[in-house]
Chains A and B, each alone.
Chain A
Amino acid sequence: MPSNYATGPNEAEITHNDGSDIDMEGDDSFLYSSGNEGCEEDDYLDYDEEDDAQYSNTRHSITAASSQTAGGTQLYSEDYYEEDDEYDYPVLNEVGKPKLQEILDSTSFSFTELVTKRQDSKIQEISTLFSLPIDIIEIFLRKYKWKHEKLIEDYMDNPEGTFKKTGVPYLNPTGPPPSSSSSITTTTTTISGEFDPHLPTPSISLKVLAPSSNSSSSSSTSVALNTRRKSKQAANSDEGLVCQICMDECTDENPAIVSSQSCSHLFCRDCWTGYLMNKFIEENESWNISCPGFRCDIPICTPYNMSLISNGGKNTDLDKLYLRARVWNYIKQNKHIAFCVHEGCGCVVECNDYNSTLQFPIPIVTCRENHVFCIRCEVANTHLPCPCYLAQAWRDKCTNDSETVNYIAANTKECPSCKETIEKNGGCNHMTCRKCKHEWCWICKGPWSEHGQNYYNCTRFNESESQAARDATSESRRELERYLHYNNHFVNHELSIKKTAKLHITIKHQIQEMQRADDSVSFHDCQFLTEAVDVLRDCRETLMWSFVLAYYMDRSVTGKSDNQAEIFEQNQVNLNFHVEELANMIENTKPQKIHSLKMEIMTKIGYVRTRRETLLKDTLESLQKDVWSFRNSDNIQFGDGKNTLQNIQKPDTSAVARKSMANASP
């Protein structure tokens, strides 16, 4: 293999085994076990007694009101009430929402450790550099998509601007960075340690407020915070704190937690948990969650805050979801790390020399399960030797219009005068263009004036006018044919590749048959056939994409590159020829004969393999030297060298980008 495209396996490539480190079965009920179910019943009853009479009154008066307006438009009929329960309003929340258990099951927690460690060390490093709490650094890094160089640069230039940009309330870096703990599960001791008045309190940190003044402080957290509350909010101590979500008073077990000093929104721990779980499960994000207060943009999700909400790691589900979202965020934002794109494969692959391969744009990686894919396109299989942007352009082109193009090529002709595409659906050969009124002959494309009365027979195919007219229209038609030509090659190879699995089975049967016929043939002796199928597949894939490259290659512009292009084409033709020969050998030979052909096939395999490598190496070299220019006909955005690569971004699968909006019409 040439060394200028990267192949795994690499260090971050860790396969998910069986998730045995998560044991959460039968734990579904944790969600909202606030222990107050009985209370709900009571409330219901009370309410009914109080207000039932009032309701029936209301109902009565409405009925009267609507009958008053009966002459005009009746607002809504009385049955509207009666059919209350049968009324068929849409069932919400039933469809399409992922279940918690499914999410946790599908997450590989084995690689999370590694990623987390890396995240933490980066955060710690910058925290020391800036003298800021790690929580703030974490939010910075998320907003900077984990590009720490950019963050450091920006921060050094304009610290306040960085705070503003990331939505963190400004905090003057003073003293040493607090809490050297970089692990997610911050212990209770470090929580209270954070509130040491000598250390800067991160203004984005949550604060626990104890529910009532005489509360027996159950944990050291409450002790530390109780004092704080007393000094600050003595006025509120009589009323008890009411959560803004569930509107219940907060208790010792379910204490109130305030978003931040600047917004002072207050919610109970259960509601915080519910809010965050919902965000994690449905939006799968950890970087963009803000305070639940209306139009409040204070970022919430930091390790410290999470440990406070999950009560120092007691709520393991919440912690795991957070960890998962945090790691996913990191992976999605880092271009050189990716999940394996093959279905059901939980591997994470890192392309270590992604940056060096940026010079050459095909970062192909292999995961531990031997799945091959391009880490930039995030599409299964390789597209060597075609650069990513061309491959992407081709895929788009094929999905958009290959069928239409086929139809146009088969059924239409172009008006010789205005080039409008015309379909002839009956009648004689005398065509009159709707658009430009040009009259022409469908058969020879010459002007109709020469044809006279020959409506159904054209005898003028070789006359000079007809010839000229055909030449003119063929220019645009040629483009189509060119596309179809390459597309045909591409599709043919693609189909053959799809049949590889089937071929494998056929080969297996053949081997068995051979062994039955001749005892001296061992299983090992026949492995060359399996190998041949694999080589065939690889070669077809390379050929497939080499046709794409050929389609986009612009031979007319660069005179200097002609030689290279020639070599490329020769290589392609040669490989194509021998691949087909090999395929023929395998598929069309009788099982009895195959064994005698062993030597021949083995030689062919070796030859084809070297041809493929030569083609790849040669093409990659030419691409790197930038000797070819590519056609712009499909409006592919590319310049030269590196710009090319920046234009093709990794597909952004992150959650819905939020826009700031006011109320208005759709």
Chain B
Amino acid sequence: MDVIRNRRLLKELKAFKKNPPSNFKILHANNIHRWIVEMTCANNTIYQGEKYKLEVRFSESYPTEAPEVVFIKPAPINPHIYSNGHICISILSIEWTPALTTEALLVSILSMMSDCKKKKRPQGDEDYSRRAGPSPRGTKWDFHDGNV
């Protein structure tokens, strides 16, 4: 398991360095299983000019299992992002397939934020942030639609 994960992560990291996707920068990946990525929000969106940090953790079963992606506090204000940094996006759980890459994940998160029209926290944010553990994997997510 570990061999596959490491080999693939190295490849991804190299590709990321070679052709960094616009809006993303890897700040820190000395531990290859845990990256810190900086996201610059897209122009012409309500988040224009803002920068956020994401933590990406790769479990042993990566790429069979999706990595954990959370915002490092303070998390952006968005109806799909909780104030503890957890992100509710289907591609991180049920829609993940090993054929996706971390880059694709990050771009999806950015595009989800870019679609947002109004800054607000999700329903029950306070409650959830207090209750939830550090890992979003403990949460059973329920996905509705992207139009909120």
Contact = CB atoms under 8 A, between A and B. Distances in A.
B134 interface: yes
A248 B27 contact: no
B124 to A, nearest CB: 8
B126 to A, nearest CB: 14
Contacts of B80: 663-665
B88 A664 contact: yes
B30 A84 contact: yes
Interface string A88-118: 1110110000000000000000000000000
Interface in B57-108: 57, 59-61, 63-65, 68, 72-74, 79-80, 88-91, 94-95, 97-100, 104, 108
Nearest to B144: A664
Contacts of A47: 10, 13-14
A149 interface: no
B18 to A, nearest CB: 11
Nearest to A92: B59
Given A248-B7, A661-B95, A85 B60 contact: no
Contacts of A62: 27-28
A59 B28 contact: yes
Contacts of B34: 84, 89
A573 interface: no
A627 interface: no
A202 B95 CA distance: 27
A89 B134 contact: yes
A293 interface: yes
A32 B89 contact: no
B3 A37 contact: yes
A213 B27 CA distance: 41
A641 B106 CA distance: 57
Interface residues of A, number: 53
Nearest to B87: A663
B133 interface: yes
Contacts of B139: 666
Nearest to B78: A665
Interface in A638-662: 658-659, 661-662
B21 to A, nearest CB: 16
A93 B59 contact: yes
Q: Is the interface of B mostly helix, strand, loop or mixed?
A: loop
A98 to B, nearest CB: 13
A665 B123 contact: yes
Contact of A81 (B8, B28, B134, B145): B28
A36 B28 contact: no
Interface string B108-148: 10001000000000110000100001110111011111111
B53 A75 contact: yes
A596 B56 CA distance: 81
Interface in A210-267: 244-248, 265, 267
B10 A278 contact: no
Contact of B57 (A54, A59, A89): A89
Contacts of A248: 7, 11
A43 B146 CA distance: 40
Contact of A246 (B4, B26, B27, B94): B4
A295 B108 CA distance: 14
Contacts of A58: 26-28
A57 to B, nearest CB: 11
A161 interface: no
Given A663-B88, A663-B90, A666-B122, A51 B7 contact: no
A308 to B, nearest CB: 18
B3 A292 contact: no
B4 to A, nearest CB: 6
Contact of A245 (B63, B68, B88): B63
A93 B64 CA distance: 12
A44 B64 contact: no
Contact of A32 (B1, B135, B138): B1
A444 interface: no
A34 B4 CA distance: 9
Given A267-B99, A665-B79, A92 B88 contact: no
A313 to B, nearest CB: 23
Contacts of B6: 40, 44
A379 interface: no
A88 B133 CA distance: 12
B3 to A, nearest CB: 6
Among A76, A274, A663, residue most surrounded by chain B Cβ atoms (within 10 Å): A663
B64 A275 contact: yes
Contacts of A54: 17
Contacts of B53: 75-76
A51 B64 CA distance: 27
Which has the most chain B C-beta neighbours within 10 Å: A73, A247, A274, A665? A665
Nearest to B95: A295
Contacts of A375: none
A631 B64 CA distance: 52
Interface string A587-611: 0000000000000000000000000
A31 B29 CA distance: 28
11 contacts: A31-B1, A40-B7, A43-B10, A62-B28, A90-B137, A245-B99, A247-B7, A271-B98, A658-B94, A659-B94, A663-B112
- What 4 pairs across the A-B complex have the smallest Cβ distances? A661-B143, A92-B59, A663-B89, A90-B135
Interface of B: 1, 3-4, 6-8, 10-14, 17, 26-31, 34, 53, 57, 59-61, 63-65, 68, 72-74, 79-80, 88-91, 94-95, 97-100, 104, 108, 112, 122-123, 128, 133-135, 137-139, 141-148
Given A75-B53, A76-B53, A245-B8, 13 more contacts: A40-B3, A59-B27, A90-B134, A90-B137, A92-B61, A245-B63, A274-B64, A659-B94, A659-B143, A662-B144, A663-B143, A664-B88, A664-B147
